[in-house]
Amino acid sequence: MPEHSENATANIMGSIVDAIADNLPKQKSVRFEEGSISDQAKRLFGGQKSVHHILGGGKSADVLLWRNKKISSSALAVATAVWVFFEWLDYHFLTIACFVLVLGMVVQFAWSTFAGMLNGSPSNIPRVELPDEMFANIGAAIGTQVNKFLGTLQDVSCGRDLKQFLLVIAGFFAAAIIGSWCNLLTVIYIGFVCAHTLPVLYEKNQEKVDEFLYDTLGLLQNQYQKLDKGVLGKVPKGIIKLKKSD
């Protein structure tokens, strides 16, 4: 019994190695269909649409693509400062909030005191008031995105696309594993940095990235077909032989 299992395992591993070794030299010649690599890559990433259009256009896309370097750099610097305060310096949200409130009160107290001493009358300090519409718009925007996300998950769960369903499940498992390595704030910060760096890098090197991804996808597809014919098809036969030997 152990000898048969070892032989079956050796045959499977040998087939995998042979399938990969036979196809590695053909990496540059992999093609899905006729046409240039750039044309195939453009179809792969949404046709002739620009990166700015894919990101939704508007001011948010301008910030992600560094159209206004001051705003983009400021947003990235603020996010980095927040992450450093909470992760490296081990500050807590309540601590930061209290320090900010204390600083604001001290500034207002000094302003009102010194202004009254210089002018001889109490100064009119402007009131800090946030409009109610801002909170209503923020709540409505968050609610819309949450409902859209939940609706997408329900469509995937109730749909009949098993491949899409398994991909979403695998994505959640990957997110759970990443969450065990670091906390939510670090994950959000990494996503924020990637959103502010990867799109602009892709826009500047679009042809090279598309060509690399297209060749990689072609190689993976060819590898899968090779393994499917040479290895996956032999696994049930190996199991049947083991059962017969028993």
5-22 pLDDT, tens per residue?
Answer: 445 444 554 555 455 445
Residue 160 inside a domain? The answer is no
Residue 48 inside a domain? The answer is no
Q: How far, in whole angstroms, is CA 26 from its chain's centroid?
A: 31
Residues whose CB is less than 8 angstroms from the CB of residue 195 and which lie 6 or more positions away in sequence, other chains included: 64
Count of structural domains, the chain:
1
Residue 75 inside a domain? The answer is no
Q: How far apart are CA 47 and CA 208, in angstroms?
A: 16
Which residue, chain included where needed, has tokens 């398994």?
A: 166
Residue 173 inside a domain? The answer is no
Buried b (16+ CB within 10 A) or exposed e, 84-93: eebeeeeeee
Residue 185 inside a domain? The answer is no
Residue 26 inside a domain? The answer is no
Residue 182 inside a domain? The answer is no
pLDDT at residue 113, rounded to an integer: 82
Let me know how long the chain is. 246
Enumerate residue ranges in the chain where pLDDT < 70. 1-49, 116, 120-123, 228, 230-246
The boundaries of the domain holding residue 119 are 95-128
Instruction: Quick: pLDDT tens for 64-87.
Output: 888 888 898 899 999 999 899 888
Which residue blocks in the chain are alpha helix, DSSP H?
2-23, 37-44, 51-54, 58-64, 69-83, 93-119, 132-158, 162-181, 184-204, 206-227, 235-245
Residue 62 inside a domain? The answer is no
pLDDT at residue 235, rounded to an integer: 56
Buried b (16+ CB within 10 A) or exposed e, 131-157: eeeeeeeeeeeeeeeeeeeeeeeeeee
